[in-house]
């Protein structure tokens, strides 16, 4: 991994649809050399996939809700049921297992509070929780899918 590979990653994280010829010019490589580097980054798993980012407001999903989940159940059976449950709910776009006072943190995108309430009821109908705490985002201050390449 050299500086050109890192620059390729930086550009692709901003716009994965950039034509290879344009990207090659920006990183001072031939088109074929640039293409080979992109393919190598994909083959070694550093580039997982290329996706389109959807404007949530235009998709009628302007509300972000963070949900903190506590459970008294810490068995693999419960954990697998939890994973299956959240995988089946498309409004849950991120989920993390945490240390500390909250066991899991979920990020949901929904059109309104009524839609969130339906997701909440779907969650609690499937599994037992000790506590479910919701935090409604009032304003998005920063959102990016790009990761820093300086640590590679």
36 plus 68 within the same structural domain: no
Q: Kindly indicate the confidence band of residue 2, based on its pLDDT and cuts at 50, 70 and 90.
A: very high
Instruction: State residue 83's pLDDT score.
Output: 98
Q: Kindly indicate the confidence band of residue 54, based on its pLDDT and cuts at 50, 70 and 90.
A: very high
73 plus 120 within the same structural domain: yes
CATH at 119: 3.30.70.920
Predicted model pTM: 0.90
67 plus 39 within the same structural domain: no
Please check whether residue 120 lies inside any domain of the structure.
yes
Residues 6+ apart with CB under 8 A from 53: 145
Helix (H, G, I), strand (E, B) or coil at 86: helix
Enclosing domain of residue 16: 3-43
Q: Cβ distance 8 to 38 under 8 Å?
A: yes
- In this structure, the chain runs to a length of 152
- Domain count of the fold of the chain: 2
Please check whether residue 56 lies inside any domain of the structure.
no
**pLDDT averaged over the chain?**
97
Instruction: State residue 55's pLDDT score.
Output: 97
Instruction: State residue 116's pLDDT score.
Output: 98
Please check whether residue 146 lies inside any domain of the structure.
no
Please check whether residue 51 lies inside any domain of the structure.
no
Instruction: State residue 12's pLDDT score.
Output: 97
Instruction: State residue 5's pLDDT score.
Output: 97
pLDDT digits (tens, 9 = 90+) for 85-103: 999 999 999 999 999 999 9
């Amino acid at each position: 991994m050299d500086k050109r590979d890192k620059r390729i990653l930086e550009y692709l994280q901003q716009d994965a649809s950039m034509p290879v010829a344009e990207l090659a010019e920006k990183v001072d490589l031939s088109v074929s050399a640039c293409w080979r580097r992109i393919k190598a980054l994909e083959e070694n798993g550093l580039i997982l996939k290329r996706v389109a980012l959807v404007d949530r407001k235009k998709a009628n999903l302007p509300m972000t809700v963070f949900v903190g989940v506590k459970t008294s159940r810490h068995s693999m059976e419960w954990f697998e049921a939890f994973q299956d449950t959240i995988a089946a709910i498309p409004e849950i776009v991120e989920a993390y297992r945490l240390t500390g006072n909250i066991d899991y943190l979920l990020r949901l995108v929904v059109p309104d509070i009524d839609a969130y309430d339906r997701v909440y009821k779907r969650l609690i109908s499937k599994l037992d929780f000790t506590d479910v705490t919701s935090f409604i985002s009032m304003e998005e201050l920063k959102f990016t899918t790009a990761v820093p390449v300086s640590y590679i």
